[in-house]
Chains A and B, each alone.
Chain A
Amino acid sequence: SQKIEQNSEALNIQEGKTATLTCNYTNYSPAYLQWYRQDPGRGPVFLLLIRENEKEKRKERLKVTFDTTLKQSLFHITASQPADSATYLCAPGNTPLVFGKGTRLSVIA
């Protein structure tokens, strides 16, 4: 069955550093992958979608890579800020969309 693993449940980094979150998936080959941000008690918010023919995608301080050979996506937040603290969910595209359990990022001032 499809399996999604996000690198760790929690990640703590210092303000100004680059946060790198990992999403690994097995047993399927999605044509695209989405990343969402979720704050406690709130609904997820879409951040980025990357397609299988795009190796990298950027949006402001966010960068996503998608390696279909490794079955892995990396999500980077550069110059991180305390306001970036949240849980980040990956969702390798399929029907229906399946979400990873997320990585809780804490950016410490």
Chain B
Amino acid sequence: DSGVTQTPKHLITATGQRVTLRCSPRSGDLSVYWYQQSLDQGLQFLIQYYNGEERAKGNILERFSAQQFPDLHSELNLSSLELGDSALYFCASSELAGTYNEQFFGPGTRLTVL
């Protein structure tokens, strides 16, 4: 158990809908990362927050947004969902902001868009 929690575990929704994925980092970790993993693309970095502020951005679609709250938990919002958004979404956390830090991954949320 990495200490990172993600909810929900599974999510099934329809195209055009909006969903929110939630992540609680390990106790003491200030940095949160979101990744998308699909079969053909591998693990793709979406966005990083450090202590409430956006730190780095990957190829995150404009339909996707995220935030980190004062208690350090984070939410990833996905809107106007398309079939291609079906994937595993992972949250990871690390103590500090630099990517030389070991990242601890949560169990993931499996999103299925029908």
Please tell me if the beta carbons of B92 and A101 are within 8 angstroms of each other in the complex. no
Query: Measured between C-beta atoms, what is the minimum distance from B54 to chain A in Å?
Result: 12
Looking at A31, A42, A97, A102, which has the most chain B CB atoms within 10 Å of its CB?
A: A97
Q: Is B43 an interface residue (CB 8 A)?
A: yes
Q: Is B56 an interface residue (CB 8 A)?
A: yes
Q: Which of B11-19, B61-69, B77-85, B98-106 touches A?
A: B98-106
Q: Is B2 an interface residue (CB 8 A)?
A: yes
Interface size for A (C-beta < 8 A) is: 21
Please tell me if the beta carbons of A93 and B99 are within 8 angstroms of each other in the complex. yes
Looking at A42, A43, A94, which has the most chain B CB atoms within 10 Å of its CB?
A: A43
Please tell me if the beta carbons of A43 and B92 are within 8 angstroms of each other in the complex. yes
Please tell me if the beta carbons of B108 and A43 are within 8 angstroms of each other in the complex. yes
Q: Kindly list chain A residues whose C-beta atoms are within 8 Å of the C-beta of B92.
A: 43
Please tell me if the beta carbons of A95 and B56 are within 8 angstroms of each other in the complex. yes
Contact with A49, one of B33, B102, B107 (Cβ below 8 angstroms): B102
Please tell me if the beta carbons of A96 and B108 are within 8 angstroms of each other in the complex. no
Q: Kindly list chain B residues whose C-beta atoms are within 8 Å of the C-beta of A16.
A: none
Q: Kindly list chain B residues whose C-beta atoms are within 8 Å of the C-beta of A42.
A: 107-108
Instruction: Report the separation of the CA atoms of residues A93 and B94 in the bound assembly, to the nearest whole angstrom.
Output: 14
Given known contacts A41-B108, A43-B92, A96 and B102 CB-to-CB distance under 8 angstroms = no
Please tell me if the beta carbons of A34 and B102 are within 8 angstroms of each other in the complex. yes
Q: Is A79 an interface residue (CB 8 A)?
A: no
Q: Kindly list chain B residues whose C-beta atoms are within 8 Å of the C-beta of A32.
A: 100
Looking at B43, B56, B108, which has the most chain A CB atoms within 10 Å of its CB?
A: B43
Q: Is B70 an interface residue (CB 8 A)?
A: no
Instruction: Report the separation of the CA atoms of residues A44 and B93 in the bound assembly, to the nearest whole angstrom.
Output: 12
Contact with B90, one of A43, A49, A96, A100 (Cβ below 8 angstroms): A43
Query: Measured between C-beta atoms, what is the minimum distance from B95 to chain A in Å?
Result: 12
Given known contacts A43-B92, A102-B42, A97 and B99 CB-to-CB distance under 8 angstroms = yes
CB-based nearest A residue for B48? A96
Residues of chain A at the chain B interface (Cβ within 8 Å): 31-32, 34, 41-46, 49, 89, 93-102
